[in-house]
Chains A and B, each alone.
Chain A
Amino acid sequence: MSDPSSSSNTPTRTRDEVTEAHFMEARARLLDLAAFLDRLERASGSDDHRVRGLRAALPVLLEKDPARVAKILNLWSDPTTAPIEKADTKAASGVWPKIK
């Protein structure tokens, strides 16, 4: 594994201190996410793979796992291992298109 001892220089913090520093930012982002989902509900059509991926990630937020970000990034990642023959786009969409 990489060197977690690097965190020996990491200042220790209480939950209150972390909350004080970052709560309002997290609150605003959660409300933005809720507003995005509301906006989708008001629109016609069905969810594409990106929205399916977003919905699939939401339960991860409530897990007792300190690696939530990595878990979500892995959930959205292409799970295949071989190079593809040719790409039909240069851009990535944010979620593997074949996600269930």
Chain B
Amino acid sequence: MRYIEPHGHMVSRTTDDYQAMALAGCKAICEPAFWAGFDRKSADGFYDYFCQLTQHEPNRAAKYAMPHYAWLCINPKESEDMGLAKEVMAMIPEFLKAPTVLGIGEIGLNKNTRNELKIFEAHVELAVRHNQMILVHTPHLEDKRKGTQLILDALKANGKVQPGRVIIDHVEEHTMAAVLDQGYWAGITLYPESKASPQRAVDMIETISAQRVWLNSACDWGHSDPLSVPKAAMEMRRRGHSSAAIDRLIYGNPAEFLSQCPKFISPEA
């Protein structure tokens, strides 16, 4: 079995996790910038984080023969401070030149505030201006449905976004169809409690769509499982899905989306 982990917060994981993922068949990892669990006090903290994502983490992954890619932004949880957000966003173009940066992400909303929305729109404009792909985080739990709609409206209002170059992540049963219907890719995040289980993810694949969809673990410092993508593959196998269908979903789909960025080298090309 081979797969791509298209959304993993590896700065939060141990080297043992890299090893376990490699043993499970992971061929490449993509890491969007996110919240560290606390608010950083200055833009310098983000500068160091972007260096970690573009220099240090690829070296860790390389020890297990896995290419490591990054997406950059200031996450929605720290976007409430618009002054800080603008300072951080001003640094991003410099890092977009790095050979492993795939685009802008994970941008989006957290509590659906006005400031979060303004910074989301500014990130989208930044991505359009630099011809970057976009990875979108949708809010958690009770805030997801409303936030997803605000995000879809903002992307449409921009007018220059190509939906096929945008993935809207953390979809669930009540938001997935709306995302796909507007031409975007959809990401299903597998979390033990707060998002989709592998079983629910496979139900969504079976009943909504397996096209323009990827699965990810979003493994971070919270309750999460870096092997949840291969566990979803096991669930598919258990239900009788073919090896080709599984490979298409967990390797082919993310490779197809990510290959729209010329920096992404399909690992088994």
Contact = CB atoms under 8 A, between A and B. Distances in A.
Interface of A: 1-4, 6-7, 9-11, 13, 21-22, 25, 66-67, 69-70, 73-74, 76-81, 83-87, 89-97
Q: Shortest 8 CB-CB distances between A and B: which pairs?
A: A11-B240, A87-B111, A92-B141, A2-B180, A6-B210, A77-B145, A92-B140, A70-B173
Given A4-B207, A83-B150, A9 B245 contact: yes
Interface stretch (B45-53, B112-120, B225-233): B112-120
Contact of B173 (A3, A9, A67): A67
Contacts, number: 112
B176 interface: yes
Interface in B179-199: 180-181, 194, 199
Give the size category of B's interface with A.
35 or more
B46 to A, nearest CB: 17
B77 interface: yes
A93 B194 CA distance: 10
A36 B239 CA distance: 30
Given A9-B210, A80-B146, 11 more contacts: A2-B180, A2-B208, A9-B245, A13-B240, A74-B174, A83-B112, A84-B113, A90-B111, A92-B111, A95-B141, A97-B142
A11 B241 contact: yes
Interface centre among A6, A7, A89 (most CB of B within 10 A): A6
Contact of B117 (A79, A83, A96): A83
Nearest to B248: A9
B86 to A, nearest CB: 18
Given A22-B199, A83-B112, A94 B181 contact: no
